[in-house]
Structure 1
Amino acid sequence: MTQALWQRQLGEGLAHMQIPLSGAQQQQLLAFLALLNKWNRAYNLTAVRDERQMVSRQLLDSLSILPWVTTEHLLDVGAGGGLPGIPLAIVLPERRFTLLDSNGKKTRFLNQCVLELGLNNVDVIHGRAEDCKPEQPYTQISSRAFTALENLVNWCEGLLANNGSFLAMKGQYPDDEVAALPAGWQVSSTHSLNVPGAGGERHLLVVSRVD
């Protein structure tokens, strides 16, 4: 019953968002959701427990930032249960995705997803952002329900290319977080996200260095 509901919700949501996916990609997304649901019972990967809300609040919410993902190699910090990194990697198989999290249980889950879903374009790193030393800085770094903007730029500025930007996913517009951004950083653009079936506001803040 759950699988049929998810399939219908996903199909309708993708149509509403005008995201054309192959049947195989849709099945991959649903297989990921099933893994997330299964592991969540033991590992507390996400706060969403209601199976009727999972497609909207996990898959469609992750895919809502697709129009702004322009880099060939995205870093997802505080990747947790793989949101938005894994849904994006499924939809954009020609791009590379690195998922970083300091929680060993969560990175074990992410590695299992990579293995079971055959995601050759995903790397998982267990560690803290401050300790990460990439060969090349990233032009885009995504963050969803990870930390305040001030922490994001302080912890991850060394991972971001000079001309790069953070894609920070938020609920309500975080006026207090924007006001607390350190000197040298700015919200270069804000986008209201329309996620079918999800109540409440959703925003994407693109944060970059001041020119």
Structure 2
Amino acid sequence: MNYPLESSKISLLLDYLELLIKWNSAYNLSAIRDPEQMLYKHLLDSLSVAPFVEGSLAKHFIDVGTGAGLPGIPLAICYEDKQFTLLDSAGKKTRFLQQVVHTLGLKNVKVVNTRVESYVPEQGYDVVISRAFASLTDMIQWCKHLLTPDGQFWAMKGVFPQDELSDVEKHYMVESCSKLQVPGDVGERCLLIIKPKVC
């Protein structure tokens, strides 16, 4: 992926993967069971957006429908200077995430167990990110109250969602669509960055 990482962060990423493998057998956090497939389809897939995080001035991210903490946990490990809120309505998943945060000593992660429509943060987020969470229309409708006025939606998708784009509200625009490179995964991946239109 041509993405340099300190050995300490690589160790934390592998510790997270080990926790996911361990908890998955009892809590069914992911349909993927094979550790090698988890490496590619979860860990490296999440890190495929790292260059965008690196190049962004955004400081506060919320990962909605985070599930087992993807992409939020891997990104939080890599970017200690940025704050990540991980939101999911499933209690078993947020309990796992609390354990991950405690075990790995992640100081820049907050875990929230609620439905996204019900969550009212103290301050808005620079970026609302999701990985296969919902359609673009639903993501915007359910999460628009979470954004700062100049915030952005980052939607991680598979094949370019042309049909979904036609349904995006007229008050929003697609700033960019970038192909994501995930080693070992033959499926198409892309990142759409959507932001409110300036009136």
Tell me whether the two structures share a fold, i.e. TM-score over 0.5.
Answer: yes
TM-score by length of 1: 0.89
Structure 1 gaps of 5+ residues are 1-16
User: 1:53-64 alignment to 2 at 5 Å?
Assistant: 53-64=37-48
2:90 equivalent to 1:103 = yes
Q: 1:35 aligns with which of 12, 16, 19?
A: 19
Identify the residue that residue 177 of structure 1 maps to in structure 2: 164
Match of 2:50 in 1: 66
Counting aligned pairs with the same residue, the percent is 50
Q: How many residues align?
A: 195
User: How big is the shift at 1:180?
Assistant: 1.3
Q: Show the counterpart of 2:147.
A: 160
Deviation string 1:14-40 (CA, Å, 9 cap, x unpaired) is xxx222111111110001001111111
Residue 189 of structure 1: how far off its partner (Å): 0.6
Counterpart-to-counterpart distance in 2, 1:138 and 1:167: 12
Give the SS at the match of 1:186. Answer: strand
**d(CA) in 1 for partners of 2:195, 2:82:** 22
- 1:206 counterpart residue number: 193
| Equivalent residue letter for 1:41 | S
Structure 2: distance between partners of 1:65 and 1:101: 20
Q: Find the aligned partners of 1:42 and 1:162 in 2 and give their Cα distance.
A: 41
Q: Could you tell me how far apart the structure 2 residues matched to 1:180 and 1:38 are?
A: 40
**Match in the other structure for 2:67:** 80
- By how many angstroms is 1:42 displaced? 2.1
Letter in 2 for 1:112: Q
Q: CA RMSD in A?
A: 1.0
Q: Partner of 2:35: helix, strand, or coil?
A: coil
Counterpart of 1:4 in structure 2 is none
Offset at residue 142 of structure 1 (A):
0.6
Alpha-carbon distance between aligned partners in 2 of 1:179 and 1:39, rounded to the nearest angstrom: 39
Specify the alignment match of 1:52 in structure 2. Answer: 36
Consecutive aligned runs of 4 or more in structure 1 exceeding 4 Å deviation: none
Whole-angstrom distance in 1 between the partners of 2:3 and 2:21: 24
Q: Distance in 1 between matches of 2:162 and 2:28?
A: 29
Alpha-carbon distance in 2 for matches of 1:41, 1:142: 27
TM-score (norm 2): 0.95
Q: Which residue of structure 1 aligns with residue 2 of structure 2?
A: 18
Shift in Å at residue 183 of structure 1? 2.2
Structure 2 unmatched runs, 5+: none
Measured after TM superposition, the shift of residue 109 of structure 1 is: 0.6
Q: Distance in 2 between matches of 1:51 and 1:124?
A: 25
What is the CA distance between 1:47 and its match in structure 2? 2.3
